[in-house]
Amino acid sequence: MSETSPATPEVTAPVAPGQWRLAEVQLANWGTFDGAIYRVPIARKGHLMTGPSGSGKSSLLDAIAAVPTPDKWLRLNQAAQGDGTRADQRTIVSYVRGAWSRTTDENEDRVVSAYLRPGATWSGIVLRYENGVDRPVSLCRLFFLRGTAMASADVADLCLLERSAVDLRDLEPFTRSGIETRKVQANWPDAVVTSNRSHGRFYARMRSLFGIAHESALQLLHKTQSAKSIDSLDQLFRDYMLERPATYDLADTAVAQFGELRDAHEHVVQLRQQRDHLTELRAHSDAYDRANNAADAARSMADSVVPYQKHQSLRLALAEHGAVGEQLVSLKADAERADGSYRRADEDADLAQRRALELGGGEAEHLQHRIRTAQDAERATRQRWDALECQLTEAGVAHTPTTAAEFAELMAEIDRTLHSPSTSAGPSHAQQERFFIARAAKERIETAIRTLRMSGTTVPDNLIGIRRAISTETGLPVTALPFAAEIIEVRPTFAEWTGAIERVLRPFALTMLVRSEHLPAVRRWAEAHRVNARLVFEEVSSEIPPPRPARSSLSLVNRISVAPGPFAEWVAGQLSERFDYACVDSPDQLDDHTRAVTVNGQVKSSRTRYEKDDRVKIDERGHWVLGDRESKLEALIEQLRGAEREYSQAETDVDRAEKERNSDLERRATLKAVRGQMWHDIDLDAAAAAIADLQRRLDDLTREDGGLRDAVGAAQTAREAREAAAKALQDAELSLRQATTKHEELGTAIRDLEEAIATGGVPDLDEHTTAALGRRFREVQRSITRQNIAEVGQEVIRRLQQQRDKDLEAARTSGNDVARLAAQFNERWSAAAAAADLSPTTADRRAYVEVLDGIVAHGLPEHESNFLRLLRERSRDMIGELVSDILGAPREIEERVAPVNASLKRSEFDEGRYLKLRVKVRRSETVTRFIADLRSISEGGWADNDLESAEERFATLADIMRRFASSDHVDRSWKRQCLDTRQHVTFLAEEIDAHGRVHATYDSGAAMSGGQQQKLVIFCLAAALRYQLADPDDEFPRYGTIVLDEAFDKADTRYTRMALDIFVEFGFQLILATPQKLLQTIEPYVGAATSIENPTRRRTAIANVPWRQDAASDVTTAGNADGEATSEAAQ
């Protein structure tokens, strides 16, 4: 490769000895610097690059920037990019390839770049720095691209730092077929050599040699190249002067340390969840124990009813025996008195009878006897007639015959009725069928409601019963055997599709889900028992494939939700695999899908098979097994009302028919009995006539003899008195016999009971049991006697049995709840369950309660205390320091700006005026709120047990830590606002005089002309550079090369000179690029110039112009397009 180099400037005493300044640039194959190794000596005083636009000035400056600037900050041709609103036009690839023009590709209808080096090629840059005291430092960077590669990732590169002058020509052999890093290292063994974009050691060594403390200074040096793009003091100081705040590191440390606090809080939360879960389990366990104890107590109480009855019977018998004994004494006296009265009445009657006979009253006595007999017959006839009247009334006959003719007519009517067919045959078959169907429907709905209320599931009660039986006999908890319907629910937004979805999913919804480990037990149970329903169960394995995405947004799968739990993933997979049915509004849309269902329940299950089953109405919610429990309960209750109305009507019809039939049968039976009556048996007139005739004859007999009449009357009265006395005696003797018998029976019963109690046949009862049974007996019957105590005892036993059944059912329900909660605990906190060796059964409930007691007594308080301690410590250590840094940042920034102000005092900003920077706090509402949140965490009192306040602080802290660790754009923006304390202040520039009086204030360059703004920024930039590159006490920085590309395009001569004076005052070597403008203004600040031309646009030519006192315009050209420069053949 040929070599192109301008003449070397005249050697004089070095400027700023000890400061590293750029002395030479070598480059090859960089943009239009093509076909030769270009050498550009750089004047130590300063250097100017000039030439027309497009000649390659910026390309040369980009080559200088590409070596000391890390790739993460490297922006090429930034002076042309302005404020960066355009996309980068130049890249490492475009420079290595040698892009020189852009043409239109007619085949692809786009603009493409034309390249000088389209094949495999290399590029090289060498920067030599000297300080006039030590050995030079060479910074080299090589690039290589294979074939036609065009991607940035395809670029291979190498960086080399050597403490001697390195010639690019010596590096060329190691780049022919690719960069040979090892050979380069072997040829320069003491050099730092890095490759493949991993150049950390290179930049660290470079900064160490040049005395550059912070890596950000490299970015500021690079940005200085396009200083006109720095348009405000805020941008300058925030982005390029101030280092990244320590708040970022504090936040990162806080996030890292927050893990322990988060773990402590999660442990507390977990223990609280376990406590709440086990508290519920303990409540059900206590309910289980209470119900079992109550059931045992009811059984024991029922067993004590008979002994209680015996004891109470003895007590009652003793009391009654005593009362009857007292009664016997009175009854004996009554009997004796009645006997005496009867004897006296009998004697009186005999005496009256004899007297009447003595007066001739035999015939009268005979007539009186016949009258008495006739009266008895008349009473019997009256009774038969009254009975006949009642029978006829019951049979619907309003008039009872009083004459023989009426009786004969009645008999004839009865004969006609009995021989005619019955008018009522009872309930018809249709009525009976309606009644039985209505009763069955009512009972079915009542059972469904009862089951739904008890079980809380919409699954039919027969399947619930089967599951209960399986659970009882296999020991598996009911929760381990769910039906799919208990996990699936139609989303509320698609409630109108529930009936249609029900038709598709009902077979699957009524399937019992059994895990693989439980399947053998369930299979054995099913084989050994006869089930009264269609039982379908499916194995749920542990290997669950992920659900398939739905074929369509109309899919049924998108309209249902699956409750979370151990079976959720399997159910979701089955639904997506087997029930991906499209829900369509019209039957015509069924053609668009292989499987679909309409809103009215027409199901298409394959390309050719359709089904519609309306045996149950699609909107009959009581039949649904999907949907929520309350809706189904409401529907069932509404159905029950209708069923009860139907049942009541059917029952009324059947009862009416049966009543009519029974009434007809009873009427016929009554008429048949009446038909057997004879007229003389009920002839009241004949009976009355017989009495009247005998009474007339008696009156005729006694009418003439007054004495006889009186004697007969007295005899009659005496006879009646004797009969009354006899009746009284009979009653007294009967009462006495009954009392005597009762007394003997009571004595026998007492002896038997006493013997049974004495021999232990009837156990003794404690006072509590006796009192409790006494209350129960009185609840049934307030007055307990020996006669009703047995019946009352049976009722008490029946009620106790009902209570026991109720308690056992409550115990079963509570036991299932305990098993369910235990299984959930083991599943959710398996490690804790395994550590305590917990078994999810009712029998192991005590162990769960012991775990709860341990959590409440020790675990939770200790972990809450640890959480509070960590929260206090982290709040003090992490957040307190962060708050302090954020609040103290403005003061630290003021301290950092102070030396810059000292630098600014060295040079006048304007005639008689100096610049002074002032820091003004300006925090956004977001930052203010953030600081308030931090203070709420770190400040305030810390009560020992203030858990509520601690939870609030932790929640705030956790949210802050989450946002600190988040990669979300919004959170990252928030984090930058809150932690970048450089954004919390704004910078004001005050124009002051020598006495410090402020004459003008510039708010980050606002309301200024372009030249004024550029001057202000560059003025401060120079001060910032000195601050970044030099210690405050140093006369000048150890590194002094500053590159400015078109930096004074907006400023006039006076402002340009003043800005350059600043850089010179601050001890910098200026490498300036300008398109042949302000040359006379710049001349005093540089020691040489390089003229850059590119007349053909394909190859750049350079020429050096040294400054001399006597001939400032002498020009020596080299490397022009005609190839007059010395060249060497490339190896």
DSSP string over 267-308: HHHHHHHHHHHHHHHHHHHHHHHHHHHHHHHHHHHHHTHHHH
Q: State what percent of residues in the chain have pLDDT above 90.
A: 24
The whole-angstrom separation of Cα 499 and Cα 624 is: 7
In 3D space, the residue among 1073, 1026, 1078 whose CA is nearest the CA of residue 1057 turns out to be 1078
pLDDT at 633: 67
Cα angle 585, 590, 595 (rounded to 5 degrees) comes to 110
CB 1005 within 8 A of CB 233: yes
- pLDDT exceeds cutoff 60 at 6: no
Number of alpha helices (DSSP H) and beta strands (DSSP E) in the chain: 32, 26
Q: Are strands 596-598 and 1041-1045 parallel, antiparallel or unpaired?
A: unpaired
Residues 903/907/910/916 CA torsion (nearest 10 deg): 20
**DSSP letter, residue 20:** B
CA distance 9 to 763: 134
Rounded mean pLDDT, 893-905: 82
**Bigger pLDDT: 850 or 903?**
850
Residue spans of alpha helices (H) in 304-401: 305-358, 362-394
pLDDT of 1114: 38
Q: Which residue has the tokens 């006369």?
A: 1035
Residue 572 and residue 545 in contact, taking contact as beta carbons nearer than 8 Å: no
DSSP letter (8 states) at residue 566: T
**For residue 630, which amino acid is it?**
E
φ, ψ dihedrals at 917, nearest 5°: -90, 140
Which residues are registered as beta bridge partners of 1041?
1069
- Over residues 346-383, the pLDDT tens digits come to 888 778 777 766 665 566 667 677 777 887 888 888 88
The neighbour count for residue 376, using CB atoms within 10 Å, is 10
With CA atoms as reference, report the closest residue to 459 among 511, 404, 514, 406.
511
- Whether 123 and 28 have beta carbons less than 8 Å apart is answered as yes
Q: Which residues are bridge partners to 603 per DSSP? A: 597, 611
Nearest Cα to Cα of residue 290 among 698, 807, 693: 807
Looking at this protein, which amino acid is placed at residue 255? Answer: V
Q: Which residue has the higher pLDDT, 127 or 311?
A: 127
Q: Which residues on adjacent β-strands are paired with residue 161?
A: 139, 192
Instruction: State the Cα–Cα distance between residues 179 and 1066, nearest whole angstrom.
Output: 40
Q: Which among 708, 690, 792, 49 has a CA at the least distance from the CA of 375?
A: 690
Confidence of residue 10 (pLDDT cuts 50, 70, 90): very low
Reported for 538-546, long-range contacts at CB under 8 A and 24+ positions apart, including other chains, are 538/511, 538/512, 538/513, 538/514, 539/514, 539/515, 540/513, 540/514, 540/515, 540/516, 540/567, 540/570, 541/516, 541/570, 542/515, 542/516, 544/569, 544/570, 544/573, 545/573, 546/573
Query: Among 620, 171, 679, which Cα is nearest to 401's?
Result: 679
Model pLDDT for residues 678-707, shown as the tens digit of each residue = 887 778 788 788 878 777 776 666 665 556
Instruction: Report the alpha-carbon angle 665-671-676, nearest 5.
Output: 135
pLDDT of residue 1022: 80
Host H or E run for residue 921:
strand 914-921
Token pair of 781, please?
Answer: 């019957």
State the pLDDT at residue 1127.
29
Residues with Cβ within 8 Å of residue 266, at least 6 apart in sequence: none
**For residue 99, what are the contacts with CB-CB under 8 A and spacing of at least 6?**
31, 90, 113, 114, 115, 116
Question: Under a CB-based contact definition with an 8 Å cutoff, are residues 70 and 214 in contact?
Answer: no
CB 592 within 8 A of CB 584: yes
- The pLDDT assigned to 1069 comes to 92
What integer pLDDT is reported at residue 459 of this predicted model?
A: 84
What phi and psi values does residue 3 have, to the nearest 5 degrees? Answer: -130, 135
Q: Hey, what amino acid is at 1104? A: N
pLDDT, mean over the chain: 83
Confidence of residue 279 (pLDDT cuts 50, 70, 90): very high
Query: For every residue of 696-730, which 3-state class applies, written as one string?
Result: HHHHHHHCCCHHHHHHHHHHHHHHHHHHHHHHHHH
Distance, in Å, from the CA atom of 488 to the CA atom of 486, rounded to the nearest integer, reads 6
Listed residue (267, 58, 10) closest to 831, CA to CA: 267
Q: Which of 326-335, 564-573, 705-714, 857-866 has the lowest mean pLDDT?
A: 705-714
- In this predicted structure, what is the pLDDT of residue 168? 95
E strand or H helix at 505 = helix 498-509
User: What's the token pair of residue 737?
Assistant: 């016999």
**Lowest mean pLDDT: which of 309-313, 603-607, 887-891?**
309-313
Q: How far apart are CA 688 and CA 679, in angstroms?
A: 15
Secondary structure of residue 851 in the 3-state scheme? helix
Relative to beta strand 46-50, strand 1088-1093 is: parallel
Q: Is 87 or 320 the better-scoring residue by pLDDT?
A: 320
Q: Is the pLDDT of residue 1004 over 70?
A: no
Cα–Cα–Cα angle for 1057, 1062, 1066, rounded to 5 degrees: 145
Cα 378 from Cα 561, distance rounded (Å) = 92
Q: For residue 1117, what is the enclosing H or E element?
A: strand 1116-1117
Distance, first Cα to last Cα, the chain: 7
What confidence score (pLDDT) does residue 595 get? 92
Backbone angles phi and psi of 946, in degrees to 5: -80, 65
Q: What 3-state DSSP class applies to 123?
A: strand
The interaxial angle of helices 706-759 and 684-702, nearest 10 deg, is 130
CA angle 822, 828, 829 (to 5 degrees): 85
Contact 1090, 1104 (CB under 8 A): yes
Domain locations in the chain?
300-398+681-780, 477-518+527-621
Q: Is 25 exposed, middle or buried (0-12, 13-18, 19+ CB in 10 A)?
A: buried
Q: Which residues pair with 777 in a beta bridge?
A: none
Give the pTM. Answer: 0.53
Q: Which residues contact 309 (CB under 8 A, 6 or more apart)?
A: 789, 790, 793
> Measured between alpha carbons, how far is residue 313 from residues 433, 754, 757 in Å?
51, 11, 12
Q: How many angstroms separate the CA atoms of 1006 and 1024, rounded?
A: 20
The DSSP code for 23 is: E
Mean pLDDT, residues 912-929: 90
At 451-472, the pLDDT tens digits run 666 656 778 888 888 998 999 8
CA distance linking residue 583 with residue 568, whole number of Å: 23
328 confidence band (pLDDT: 50, 70, 90): confident
Query: And the tokens for 604?
Result: 């298409």
Separation CA 907–CA 1021 (nearest Å): 13
Q: Are 871 and 261 in contact (CB under 8 A)?
A: yes
Residue 353 CB neighbours (<10 A): 20
At residue 13, the pLDDT reads 54
pLDDT reported for residue 1108: 60
Instruction: Say how far apart CA 60 and CA 25 lie, in whole Å.
Output: 9
C-alpha count within 13 angstroms, C-beta hemisphere, residue 477? 21
All residues at 6 or more sequence positions from 394 whose CB lies less than 8 Å from its CB, including other chains: 666, 667, 670
- Chain segment 407-458, per-residue pLDDT in tens: 888 888 777 777 777 767 777 788 888 888 888 888 887 877 776 666 567 7
Rg (CA), the chain: 60
Cα–Cα distance measured from residue 280 to residue 263, given in angstroms and rounded to the nearest whole number: 25
